[in-house]
Chain A
Amino acid sequence: MKEGFIRKFHSKAFGRSLWVFHTNVGACNGCDIEVLDVLTPFFDVERFGIKLVGSPRHADVLLVTGPVTRPMVEPLKRLYEAVPSPKLVVAIGACAVGGCVWFDTYNVIGGVDKVIPVDIYIPGCPPKPEAIIYGVALALGLVPKKVGPAIESHEIPMEVEDILKELTPSRPVALPVNPDGKNDNGKQDGEGA
């Protein structure tokens, strides 16, 4: 049930072509040119419908690189708010995942998840283009997850299941499925359709 529910949510929300917006919040460009590299002929992610867009308002996915320098905190929050829900955030590279070598210096926050919620972490310094494609495919549910939470926290309560049964199959609704009130995307506000 839970697998089906999440997959249904994904296929509804991110089913067709994913539009991604790419931003650098203090990265060294290593990750940035690898992100650009996956668009070029050898990797060509446009065949999956993934397209880099120029405005956060058009995007489904936010790709973030860099350890978040202090002047970039506010712009990054504003950028996150500008992306319409439901949205995914992908932290690319060791800096975005946890701050890399400068995680605690005087001008670095150290990791994107300290500022905005992150769904997918792609480690590596920089991650190879293959790793970036794999990470996005994971986000789409195209490949199985290698690890998951050990505790069964995704169980949907009986009452919720009842509600779900009443809903028409064409209109699934993202309900809070985690004990802390977040759905599987880590967002409070993911509205299914």
Chain B
Amino acid sequence: MVQQLTTDTILGRLSESIPVIASQSPTPHRLYIEVPKDRVKEACRILFEDLQGRYTITVGTDRRPVNGKFEVLHFFSFDRDNIRMAVRVFLDPDDLTLESITPVIPGAGWAEREIQDLVGIRVIGHPDPRPLALPDGFPEGLYPLRKDYPYNYQPPLDEGKTFPFKEPPPDATVVTVGPFFPVLEEPSQWRLFVDGEIVVGCDYRGFYNHRAIEKLGDSVLTYNQIVFLAERICGICGCVHSTSYCQAVEEAAGIEVPLRARVIRSLILELERVHSHLLWLGLACHIVGFDYGFMQSWRIREPVMWLAEYLTGSRKHFSINLVGGVRRDIVPDQFDRILSVADDVDRQTNELVKAIQDDTALIARLKGVGIFTPEEVRLSGAVGPTARGSGVAIDARRDHPYAAYDLLQFEVVTHDGCDTLARTLVRIGEIFESLKMIRQCVNLLKDIPVGDLLGEIPEEIPPLKDGMHAVEAPRGEVFHYVLTGYENRPYRWRVRAPSYQNIQSVPMMFKEGTYLADVPITLGSVDPCFSCTERMEVVDQGRSQSYTLEEKDLLRLSRSKYRALKATERK
């Protein structure tokens, strides 16, 4: 039996080897500790390795207007014990360096590169200190997230600078994929190193979608405007961002949300999960060339979108949340339609899943592809179905209950397959769990008397209070950190989307012997969907020839494999 952790035991364990400067535990589930600058790595190592905490994110803040210092926070989660904590360190503006924790926690790689780019804190000992977030040629010495940087200043870019891509291994061919991914997700660029058809390595350049959301949040907008900005972080799972942001502010300001509002939040979140998972299922089928599945699953999904529009007024950005509660009630007249849509989706998804599971060629395309072991999940900090497909049962809904999830009965769907098939099955299982929860939410709403939808909100939200909260999005855990500020807006707001960790884990899934034709579905399986790659440039190093493959060629490669499997099956 592993010892149950509390905030006190964590603090005690850390104090044994590290001089803790200050600690603060506003609730039994939250802990903030301040450590000296030279002991940060050691503290993170203890939390990550000895206490088996899950790394969440690193946040850098320019606190100069307040106390003349910079601040870095490393966040960890203890999912079994419902504790979230932060290791805080203050840095002097004259010596803006910090020891990197990436050698211990590989999942911190991007977050540390990001504070280097945006806040200007130099990370020492980082294995890959290349720029990450800003466009190529952004002038050095300018850091957008510092308080003295105006949100709308666009410095001239140095045209001559290009991104320092990794050198491919000798004798490998470079396949550039991107930066346009025209059908679904953000533009990003992958450089795959291939030997024949076998992938031997890869390099990633992303952040083409960096829209300065956090900067807008802490310099222009107000608390309640950010809710709608947060929703526009992602068009597929926007509601999780706004819920998570609202909960972080509510935690910092001590606002109590009425029960009816919490149930409505849960209902909308589950509705969003159903549509997102059906969307993903369709795209996964599309990637491997099973277009019947694509069309069917989007057909099943459409009534869910209509229901969302009926309940909230919008198909995508539901705009249902406000700090302190929700904007709209769900009235008894609407219950019947919710239940009938849930029944229809349940029945039709069952039929579709049968068709998918009977298709041996499809199963063969998914099974054993993109192996991702539980140990790699821990190292990379992957979350959501990506982690649960490797048998790691982490789910913010169960581990850190929020909204009305403490009142709902549901199972955390996991699978031990560790491959793309497992991740698919987890998502399929979650569709049914979500439908179950939608029905429970409707039953709860029947019992809860109609009343306030907004909690008591103080005249002024007190400044410099920390709040962190996470919501289980369709893709994994969305984490928001808010430091309240002056003038009715946060001082610092940090968003960690699940794909931030999941995309970092993709290189780990390209195991030895991965075929080029399996790359799209492996990338797709973590759900930064990759269905239509615009253009690939193949450079054959040995013959120094260069030719261009287009998206249809990559899809053809992916699909012809499916057809070949189908043909062998018929024989």
Contacts and interface: CB of A to CB of B under 8 A. Distances in A.
Contacts of A25: 187, 208
Most central of A28, A40, A106 by chain B CB within 10 Å = A106
B39 interface: no
Contacts of B198: none
B238 interface: yes
B552 interface: yes
Given A27-B235, A31-B235, A55-B551, A106 B316 contact: no
Contacts, number: 154
A107 B210 contact: yes
Most central of B144, B153, B207, B235 by chain A CB within 10 Å = B235
Given A71-B136, A101-B216, A107-B210, A54 B235 contact: no
A23 B184 contact: no
A143 interface: no
A72 to B, nearest CB: 6
Interface string A8-43: 000000000000011111111111111011001110
Given A29-B185, A40-B295, 7 more contacts: A24-B180, A25-B187, A26-B208, A26-B209, A29-B234, A54-B534, A107-B154
Contacts of A50: none
Nearest to B225: A101
Interface in B264-298: 279, 282, 294-295, 298
B423 interface: no
Given A30-B236, A33-B184, A71-B208, A106 B153 contact: yes
B232 A28 contact: yes
B331 interface: no
B535 to A, nearest CB: 7
B211 A126 contact: no
Interface of B: 134-136, 144, 149, 151-155, 157, 179-187, 207-213, 215-216, 229, 232-236, 238, 279, 282, 294-295, 298-299, 302, 305, 315-317, 532, 534-535, 550-552, 555
A22 B182 CA distance: 5
Given A70-B157, A75-B180, A40 B298 contact: yes
Contacts of B181: 24
A37 to B, nearest CB: 7
Contact of A24 (B182, B282, B315): B182
Contacts of B229: 101
A70 B187 CA distance: 12
A102 B180 CA distance: 21
A79 interface: yes
B295 A107 contact: no
A115 interface: no
Contacts of B180: 23-24, 75, 79
A179 B203 CA distance: 50
A6 interface: no
25 contacts: A22-B183, A23-B182, A24-B182, A25-B208, A26-B187, A28-B209, A30-B236, A30-B317, A33-B236, A33-B316, A37-B305, A42-B299, A54-B534, A69-B210, A70-B154, A71-B135, A71-B207, A75-B187, A102-B212, A105-B152, A105-B215, A106-B151, A107-B144, A107-B211, A108-B212
B315 A126 contact: yes
B184 A40 contact: no
Given A70-B157, A100-B232, A36 B299 contact: no
A53 B182 CA distance: 10
A37 B181 CA distance: 16
A72 B135 CA distance: 9
Most central of A32, A36, A42, A67 by chain B CB within 10 Å = A36
A7 interface: no
B317 A52 contact: no
A19 B143 CA distance: 42
Contacts of A104: 151-152
B157 A54 contact: no
A117 B185 CA distance: 24
Nearest to B228: A101
Interface string A95-122: 0000011101111100000000000000
Contact of B211 (A53, A69, A79): A69
Given A25-B187, A28-B234, A72-B187, A105 B298 contact: no
B302 A37 contact: yes
Nearest to B235: A30
B282 to A, nearest CB: 8
Given A22-B183, A54-B532, A70-B135, A102 B211 contact: yes
A125 interface: yes
B298 A102 contact: no
A54 B552 contact: yes
A41 B134 contact: no
A105 B151 contact: yes
A187 B83 CA distance: 60
Nearest to B302: A42
A154 interface: no
Contacts of A67: 211
Nearest to A100: B232
A55 B305 CA distance: 30
Contacts of B210: 69, 71, 107
Nearest to A29: B235
A182 interface: no
A54 B236 contact: no
A25 B185 CA distance: 10
A125 B316 CA distance: 8
Interface in A103-149: 104-108, 125-126, 128
Nearest to A24: B187
Contacts of A52: 183, 532
A66 B234 CA distance: 12
Contacts of A71: 135-136, 179, 207-208, 210
B207 to A, nearest CB: 8
Contacts of B298: 36-37, 40-42
Given A54-B534, A70-B135, A128 B315 contact: yes
A32 B183 contact: yes
Given A69-B208, A105-B152, A126-B235, A55 B552 contact: yes
Contacts of A29: 184-186, 234-236
B235 A28 contact: yes
Nearest to B309: A128
A55 B550 contact: yes
Given A29-B236, A71-B208, A105-B211, A34 B316 contact: yes
A94 to B, nearest CB: 9
Most central of A69, A79, A107, A126 by chain B CB within 10 Å = A107
Contact of B135 (A21, A79, A100, A107): A107
